[in-house]
Amino acid sequence: MTATRTLSTAEIREKYLAFFESKGHFRLPSHSIISPDTTTLFTVAGMQPFKPQFLGAAARFPGHEGEHKRITTTQKCVRIDDIENVGRTNRHNSLFEMLGNFSFGDYFKREAITWAWELLTSSEWLALDSSKLYVTVYKDDDEAFGIWTKEVGLPEDHVLRFDADENFWPADAPLKGPNGPCGPCSEIYYDRGPAFGSDTWAEYADTRESNRFLEIWNLVFPQYDRRDLAPDGTPVLADLPFKNIDTGMGLHRVAAILQDVPDFYGIDVFKLLIDKVVELSGRAYEGATSVSHRVIADHVRMVSMSVADGITLSNTGRGYTVRKVLRRASRHAYLLGLREPVLYRLVALVAETMGSAFPEIKTHQAAVEAAIKAEETRFLATLESGTARLDTLLGKIERGGVLSGEDAFTLYDTYGFPLDLTREIAEEFGVTIDEAGFDKSLEAAQERARAGSKYGKSELFGAVSEVLDEVLAANGPTKFVGYEELSVEGRVLAIVQGAEALSRLSAGSEAQVVLDTTPFYAEGGGEVGDRGWIEWSGGRGFVRDTKKTPSGLHLHDVLVEEGELTVEASVRAVVAPERQATERHHTATHLLHAALRAVLGSGVRQAGSLVAPERLRFDFTHGAALSPQEIREVERLVNAWIVADFPVRYAYMNIDEARTSGATALFGEKYGDVVRVVSVEGGVGFEDGLVTSKELCGGAHVTRTGEIGAFVIVSDENVAAGVRRVEALCGEAATKYVRDTLENVSRVAATLNTGVAGLGERVSGLQGQIKDLGGQIAALKRQLAQAQMGGGASSSVRDLGGFKVASLRLSGVEGNELRSAADDLLDKSGADLAVIAGDKGLVVKASKTAVSRGAHAGQLIGKLAAAGGGKGGGRPDMAQAGVQDADAALGALENALS
Ligand code: ATP
Ligand code: MG
């Protein structure tokens, strides 16, 4: 040890962050343990919250002023894959802290490598013995190799080069994915000395597994965006617009080295937990039992932090993983002889050791303790009977035998034994489990659960019914007040993410939020879901979309921008002003429908619609394109309604009553007994009659037609046999469209030196001129070819391979003219073969007799084109090709024919 005093884990963390602050980095708090994207359930690396920045998004972060292209963080990470390793290897935790420094298009490899070296070895910072440091680089990364050996001065035999399975992040990304930012990486190792293993660094090239050489830090150089496979089957690594840096250092691995203990269970923060387990159980930390101490110390940190971040223990997804980890720890406590809940008593220590960097664990300590205690109590009750049951089952199976999948499932279903727990116990008996059989039983049970639920696995944002069923049973459907109000107070009833209910949602995270009352219209009847905001004391979230369950719960897709949203919170829900534009488009859709039926006939039937703030789209049955007169007439009728400024009213009535009143209903649509009817009070004149609008509709509408402002049809197209699609714009969108179109037309007219009125005549005049000019150019090219051929001096006739071959190089002649020049040449020269080259083209003609003697223009041109860097082919008597170098093609003639 070179350090004079042992650094605590907290001090090492602080040194890392302070070092990078001194290099111009901005310190951001850790992202939640809940993954910011859908590639993983949990956050697995420090870089994950910054994927958008690596892909080019602005380096701005909610709650922080300005732009920050250099960031440093300590990120709490969970790796479920590594759970199997916990307690077994000396370097894997289920929850660990990853320290990182990031550059978004700012500095790159040189700084990342030299700074890492400075932090690790400088006596001012971590003061590691530099002779014990080793690195690996990606096999092709000569740049990184050069910086390590030449600039840092690391001996070459301290560096190994590995493939993409080791030195790319994510591992093997080029071939296997996932998609997203990725790049080569360089890993830094520390030699823990012969006491940890007798292997050498050179041997590590083959073994790739060592207790002696411990990976502490990975420097990743994300310079590519991995995309889906290209059509030919190769993955695409597109260059990112700029180069980035992403590094990850395992805090506890470095702490174990600096505190000179064999593994991180010996470092300060873990020792407190291990000692507490010893105290609670009265069992010493030694021998085979010590695995239990380690598993408990590790797992309790993971579970505490997960619950603090809002994950609830459940039977699906993330909540199930956390429950599994807790039960595994609980069983190890049981193995240590503990029969009462104890794990919750370790939460205070987790808060004490992690609270300074992750204050959320302190804030929610009481809730975390309560959740863990409740789950421990539940599990202990079944553990005893479950273990007895399993012991009986296993007692009947010989060593080397198999436990049936059904039995394993019963243990899971009735006793709450996670499969890996059963597996672990079975292993102690030398028995394996029929896991395929287990999966089958599990699927069958899930199928039964789905069938029993009211609306099964909902398509709505993938949310699962169980949670929503409970909310519905307790509160009934969402109270929707958005026809009249655009801003109301509401209460948060549930936060749902994927298959799980969360108790909290932190900044940067997204989930579906259910409120008791809402002004947000949920997507339906062609109208898009509302967007807007929800605000609460200390926070704010963006509502990106709103959907609805068939049972009437509005699901707000909320991205928390600031603060933390909790269940039961009072919020103000505010619909974005763009709703007005949506309403304009919706009422206009009804008017358009009525106008189309008037103008085109009552055969017109609605076949679909989209009503958005930006535009409206209306599909309807009709056999032919609309004529300009029909479009003009439909548009006139709708604008007549707008100018008349009629009131728009809605009423609820019995479905039969609605039909007899003449309201238009959608064909094939299912309606309840009571329906909402939207009508415009007043008709507009058309061919001796009045056209009116009355439709069954649950959408949002303007209160008077005058609010629509203006209406313009922008397109009419065919979408399916007998179905037309009209798109139209209202209000500001309509006037803007008209203004843009007029400007375009005026600009074109001005370029052509005429006014808008004279534009048509001017354009057809120009078209005539272009046609004339084309004719003149063709004639000139013919003359040019003739002139070049004229004297015959430039053409040569040679005897090649038994044929008389005339060849000629022309310039400025291509295409048709080149072909007719070839005819002329064959004629005039009396040769068997005529070969003629333009600047980029080649034509070969063979006379009838030459063909009968075996000449083949197509085959000849193939060879010539190849010599000229092109491709071509054709019949025996005539062939043509495009070439890069016509002279080289002609030059190959002699070889090609001999
Ligand atoms: P290993 O091969 O040892 O599992 P890794 O290649 O998975 O490591 P990276 O994905 O590069 O590690 O993560 C960056 C750093 O995070 C590692 O250098 C290591 O210090 C730390 N780290 C990774 N996984 C764990 C874990 N399960 N527990 C503690 N620290 C870890
Ligand atoms: Mg790993």
Tokens of 417: 């034994």
701 is in an annotated binding site: yes
Four-residue CA torsion sign, 514, 515, 520, 523: positive
The ligand placed nearest to the CA atom of residue 90 is: 1
CA of 89 from ligand 1 middle (Å) equals 12
The answer to whether the CB of 547 falls within 8 A of the CB of 460 is: yes
The ligand placed nearest to the CA atom of residue 80 is: 1
pTM over 0.85: no
The ligand placed nearest to the CA atom of residue 45 is: 1
590 is in an annotated binding site: yes
Residue nearest to atom 8 of ligand 1 (CA): 215
Residue nearest to atom 3 of ligand 1 (CA): 215
- Most informative mutation of 98, 168, 251 for ligand 1 (most atoms within 8 A of CB): 98
C-alpha span between 389 and 711 (Å, rounded): 74
Which domains can be identified in the chain, with CATH numbers?
Answer: 9-260 (3.30.930.10), 397-453 (no CATH), 459-576 (2.40.30.130), 583-741 (3.30.980.10), 791-896 (3.10.310.40)
Residue nearest to atom 22 of ligand 1 (CA): 250
* CA 187 to ligand 1: nearest atom: 18
Residue nearest to atom 31 of ligand 1 (CA): 250
Count Cβ atoms below 10 Å from residue 108 Cβ, excluding itself: 16
The answer to whether the CB of 515 falls within 8 A of the CB of 565 is: no
The ligand placed nearest to the CA atom of residue 98 is: 1
- Most informative mutation of 215, 252, 305 for ligand 1 (most atoms within 8 A of CB): 215
CA of 250 from ligand 1 middle (Å) equals 6
Q: What is the DSSP string of 225-282?
A: EEESPPTTS--EEEEPSS-EEEEEEEHHHHHHHHTT-SSGGGSHHHHHHHHHHHHHH-
C-alpha span between 820 and 834 (Å, rounded): 11
C-alpha to C-alpha distances, 240 to 182, 415, 554, 885, nearest whole angstrom: 9, 51, 39, 36
* Amino acid, res. 838: G
Peptide bond before 170: cis, by omega within 30 degrees of 0? yes
CA of 217 from ligand 1 middle (Å) equals 8
The ligand placed nearest to the CA atom of residue 248 is: 1
CA of 81 from ligand 2 middle (Å) equals 8
- Report the pLDDT value the prediction gives residue 452, as an integer from 0 to 100: 39
- Which residues form the pocket of ligand 1, taking CB atoms under 6 Å from any ligand atom? 79, 82, 91-93, 96, 98, 215-218, 248-250, 252-253
CA of 125 from ligand 2 middle (Å) equals 26
Residue nearest to atom 16 of ligand 1 (CA): 250
* CA 188 to ligand 1: nearest atom: 18
* CA 254 to ligand 1: nearest atom: 20
Tokens of 555: 């699901």
The ligand placed nearest to the CA atom of residue 209 is: 1
CA of 508 from ligand 1 middle (Å) equals 24
The ligand placed nearest to the CA atom of residue 93 is: 1
CA of 485 from ligand 2 middle (Å) equals 52
Nearest to 708 by CA among 647, 665, 663: 647
Peptide bond before 178: cis, by omega within 30 degrees of 0? yes
C-alpha to C-alpha distances, 566 to 311, 374, 466, nearest whole angstrom: 12, 21, 20
The answer to whether the CB of 76 falls within 8 A of the CB of 218 is: no
Max intra-chain CA distance, the chain: 114
- Most informative mutation of 33, 83, 96, 97 for ligand 1 (most atoms within 8 A of CB): 96
Residue nearest to atom 19 of ligand 1 (CA): 250
* CA 85 to ligand 1: nearest atom: 27
* CA 248 to ligand 1: nearest atom: 14
* CA 214 to ligand 1: nearest atom: 3
- Report the pLDDT value the prediction gives residue 41, as an integer from 0 to 100: 86
697 is in an annotated binding site: yes
* CA 166 to ligand 1: nearest atom: 6
Residue nearest to atom 20 of ligand 1 (CA): 250
Residue nearest to atom 1 of ligand 1 (CA): 215
Nearest to 167 by CA among 193, 131, 201, 205: 205
CA of 199 from ligand 2 middle (Å) equals 21
CA of 186 from ligand 2 middle (Å) equals 15
Residue nearest to atom 12 of ligand 1 (CA): 218
The answer to whether the CB of 699 falls within 8 A of the CB of 526 is: yes
Residue nearest to atom 4 of ligand 1 (CA): 92
Residue nearest to atom 11 of ligand 1 (CA): 218
Nearest to 301 by CA among 335, 267, 256: 267
Burial of 674 (0-12, 13-18, 19+ CB in 10 A): exposed
CA of 254 from ligand 1 middle (Å) equals 11
CA of 766 from ligand 1 middle (Å) equals 70
Four-residue CA torsion sign, 378, 380, 385, 387: positive
CA of 91 from ligand 2 middle (Å) equals 9
| Regions of the chain where pLDDT drops below 50 | 1-3, 451-463, 793
CA of 247 from ligand 2 middle (Å) equals 14
The answer to whether the CB of 535 falls within 8 A of the CB of 488 is: no
730 is in an annotated binding site: no
The ligand placed nearest to the CA atom of residue 253 is: 1
CA of 176 from ligand 2 middle (Å) equals 17
Tokens of 659: 């039909």
pLDDT digits (tens, 9 = 90+) for 319-365: 888 998 999 899 899 989 999 999 999 999 999 999 999 999 999 99
Residue nearest to atom 27 of ligand 1 (CA): 92
- Most informative mutation of 88, 92, 246, 252 for ligand 1 (most atoms within 8 A of CB): 92
* CA 264 to ligand 1: nearest atom: 29
Residue nearest to atom 14 of ligand 1 (CA): 248
CA of 387 from ligand 2 middle (Å) equals 32
